[in-house]
Structure 1
Amino acid sequence: MLGLDSGALATSLNSTPTFCHSRAFGSYSLSAQCRAAHTEAQHQEAGIASDGQANRDHNDLEENDMIDDGDDLDDDELQQMLQDNEADAGAMTDTANTDWGAKGLLVAQQVLQQDGMQELALFSLMASPKHKQLKIRLDKPGDEYGSPSLDEIALFSRHFSEEYHRAIGEAAEEVAVEVSSPGAERQVRVPQDLQRFQHLPMLVTFQLQDSNKVDTKVMELVEYSEADSTAEWKLADVRQNRSGKGVSKLSKKQSGQRWKVALEALQKVNLHLEV
């Protein structure tokens, strides 16, 4: 059963915002199917048979609310952008050499300086010329998981819409703007986010020492050493790491294992969500 106690926002400047959130996944969804999933969950909770309802809701969405998921950046592309970005803030930005994208970045930065926005930060901004789409992900450094609230997302979106129209005029009507959180399984920027999420389980892909082999484990950070550019890890106490069905914790041997990994050997790090 899906709980719907906080939310998400996918919005186009020339359409009505669509709100949706899943407690089970804890992240903001940008896809048109999100609203359909919301409806499906409500029907299931009420005990109503709802075959085909999600499809009907999906088809009822206005064209401006539709999002082509096929144009989203995959994890490898996002990770490469993280590695290529050398800004201290670590924000991933790609305006695709477009004027409307560059103006969007400037407006987003200005809005984040306004009253009520100081607790938020830009996680990423991506322009997609193919669909004339601007995708903005907002971070909240003071939150345990870095997730802004629905109200904060909506407030930013409203202010951004006003300022973006003011900046580029009627041309803003042609740009579809999406605003979201980085997601429950957000990428962890290395090294700047390691200590920030030290207490949370992370899915870590790394190259084994003195080997070309790559391993992936759900781990927690023990210590980050800036001096020698290494991170020491231990297994996270999650179901995926426990030795058998019904086992409620790691074995003593597992709890004592450690991996010391050079930062350059960390290929990808994401928060791990246990569902």
Structure 2
Amino acid sequence: MARAQALRSLLARCSTKCPAAAAAASSSCLRRAVPSYSQRILPAFRAASVPAVLTRSLATTARGGAGPDEPGAEEDEEEAEAQEWEEDEDYGTEPEIGDGGNGGGVLLRDIKWGELALASAKEVLAEHFGDDVAMFAFKVSPKGYVYVRLDKLTNRYGCPGIEEIENFNRIYKQKLDEMIERGEIPLDLAVEISSPGAERLLKVPEDLDRFKDMAMKVQYFAEGDDLVSDQADGIFLLESVDIQAEHCVWKLANVTENRAGKGRPLSRKQRDWRLQTSFQSVRKVTLYLD
């Protein structure tokens, strides 16, 4: 009952992260001691101005001490509550394609158990989820943190439902616990399951067609000029992509930033204006939320 109340409270705080799905938070840990399993909800990782689902649960915590109905159980639980989740060491850095975070891809940092944890996550997706759920990003930390971002390919923003996030977390932590018992990965391990939000970097041209009906913030370099001095950005809609010629054509999105004044539509000149960029000249593309 207490966990359900905590979950509902957390959902209320996180509901703005994704228009289609709210988020629960979860992290998994298994520690060396006599098994005494419990589960708790950690605070939301950080507020996001993007539609993202973040799930973190203290999955299986094996530690000595009193059982849930024994004297001292409350003190043990309070001690667990005091444990803080590690701030992502890459938080605040400029995202790059393939960085295991907003740039997607896999980042193992030459950590020995990283390949095993990655293979296990892929197995969970292949065996228990359909083709519409994919792994957007996977990253491990030397301190024993695993960051997994799931992408719902059929969702407008890529947000999986909270049930899908929790199911993945439950099955994945079971697999990790089995690997821990076999001594294949460290005992102290925590897992964060989340979804990518609008801060995700879109690959050019691979991701453009999927989000072609959504406004995008595009940073680009002017063709043939100095790359540094002529960097520009804008809020656009994709009009066309030419894979063979390796260029795309953009038009201004009908958003506040592009309008002449409040409540005024785009002018005819703005509606007719087009920007053509080569794939190489596009520096960064993210989703835009008005």
* Fold similarity call, TM over 0.5: yes
Kept in 2: contact 1:13–1:172 (CA 8 A) = no
The alignment covers a number of residue pairs equal to 238
Query: C-alpha displacement at 1:31, in angstroms?
Result: 9.5
Task: Give the helix-richer structure, 1 or 2.
Answer: 1
Q: 1:168 to 1:118 in 2, by over 3 A?
A: farther
- One-letter code of the match for 2:237? E
1:119 aligns with 2:106: no
Identity %: 28
**Do residues 192 (structure 1) and 203 (structure 2) align?**
no
1:263 to 270, 279, 282: 279
Aligned residue identity for 1:7: A
Partner of 2:149: 137
How far the C-alpha of 1:265 sits from its partner, in A, is: 0.7
Q: CA deviation at 1:3?
A: 7.9
Separation in 1, partners of 2:112, 2:199: 31
Corresponding residue number in structure 2 for 1:72:
90
Q: Distance in 1 between matches of 2:93 and 2:269?
A: 32
Distance 2:240 2:80 in 1: 48
- Secondary structure of the structure 1 residue equivalent to 2:140: strand
Q: Structure 1 pair 198/273, CA: closer, same or farther in 2 (3 Å)?
A: same
Residue in 1 aligned with 2:248? 231
Provide the residue aligned with 1:38 in structure 2. Answer: none
Which secondary structure does the structure 2 equivalent of 1:27 belong to? Answer: coil
- TM-score, with structure 1 as normaliser: 0.76
Against the structure 1 CA distance between its residues 80 and 122, is the aligned structure 2 distance closer, same or farther, given a 3 Å change threshold? closer
Instruction: Give, in angstroms, the shift of residue 220 of structure 1.
Output: 0.8
CA 154–65 in structure 1, closer or farther in 2 if over 3 Å, else same: farther
* Counterpart-to-counterpart distance in 2, 1:235 and 1:147: 26
Q: How does 1:94-109 map to 2 (within 5 A)?
A: 94-109=107-122
If you compute each CA radius of gyration, which structure gives the higher value, 1 or 2?
Answer: 2
Report how far residue 187 of structure 1 moved.
1.7
Residue deviations 1:79-102 (CA, integer Å, cap 9, x gap): 3648xxxxxxx9510111112221
Q: Relative to 1, partners in 2 of residues 1:80 and 1:113: Cα closer, same or farther, differing over 3 Å?
A: closer
CA distance in 2 between counterparts of 1:99 and 1:168 reads 14
The unaligned stretches of length 5 or more in structure 2 are 1-11, 30-38, 58-77
Residue by residue over 1:224-251, the C-alpha shift from the partner in whole angstroms, topping out at 9 and shown as x without a partner, is 110111111111111111111232x211
Tell me the residue number matched to 1:16: 40
Aligned counterpart in structure 1 of residue 193 of structure 2, from 179, 204, 207: 179
SS of match in other structure, 1:166: helix
Corresponding residue to 1:146 among 142, 158, 179:
158
**Contact 1:164–1:172 (Cα < 8 Å) also in 2:** no
Q: Cα distance, 1:159 vs. partner?
A: 0.8
Aligned partners of 1:119 and 1:63: how far apart in 2?
A: 37
Deviations 1:98-139 (A, max 9, x none): 12221111011100012334421010101121x321111111
Q: 3-state DSSP class of the match of 1:112?
A: helix
Deviation at 1:256, TM superposition (A): 0.9
Whichever residue aligns with residue 72 of structure 1, its letter is: D
1:166 aligns with 2:158: no
Any idea what the Cα deviations from partners look like across 1:157-178, whole Å, max 9, x if unmatched?
1111011122233645411111
Structure 1 match to 2:234: 217
Task: Provide the rounded CA distance (Å) in 2 between the counterparts of 1:126 and 1:269.
Answer: 22
CA distance in 1, matches of 2:149, 2:244: 31
Structure-1 separation of matches of 2:131 and 2:53: 20
Give me the whole-angstrom Cα distance separating, in 1, the residues matched to 2:248 and 2:209.
Answer: 10
Asked if structure 1 preserves the Cα contact closer than 8 Å seen for 2:246 and 2:279, the reply is yes
Give distance in 1, aligned partners of 2:160 and 2:43.
Answer: 14
User: Secondary structure of 1:160's match?
Assistant: helix
2:280 aligns to what SS in structure 1? helix
Shift of residue 19, structure 1, vs aligned partner: 7.6
Residue type at the aligned position of 2:171 = H
SS in 2 for 1:174: coil
Give the aligned CA root-mean-square deviation in angstroms. 3.1
Opposite residue 236 of structure 1, the aligned amino acid is A
Amino acid at match of 1:151: E
